[in-house]
Amino acid sequence: MNNMNNLFIEKVSAPFYGDLFRLCIFCSIWLVENVYSRFYLLNYISFLVKGFNPFSCK
């Protein structure tokens, strides 16, 4: 019975964890790209608002 359970867990969890791993990588890449694009967009907007003055950033 225990052997059957281990086999079942291995068969079910192997593809599941593979998909989970891929999903995590995909999500982290998407998150990084999103955060970077938002950061650049906010920088660009703040530059437009402040009139391209590099000393008024802080």
Q: What is the mean pLDDT of each run of 10 residues along the chain (58 residues)?
A: 64 71 84 82 80 58
Q: How far is CA 44 from CA 5, 30, 35, in A?
A: 57, 21, 14
Q: Would 15 be classed as within a structural domain?
A: no
Q: What is the reported pLDDT for 53? A: 58
The total of structural domains in the chain comes to 1
Provide the CB-side half-sphere exposure for 3 (13 A, CA): 0
| pTM for this prediction | 0.39
For the chain, helix (H) and strand (E) counts, in that order, are: 1, 0
C-alpha 12/C-alpha 6 separation (Å) is: 10
Domain hosting residue 27, numbered range: 23-51
The residues, any chain, with a CB within 8 Å of residue 56's CB and separated by 6 or more, are 50
Asked if the structure places residue 7 within a domain, the reply is: no
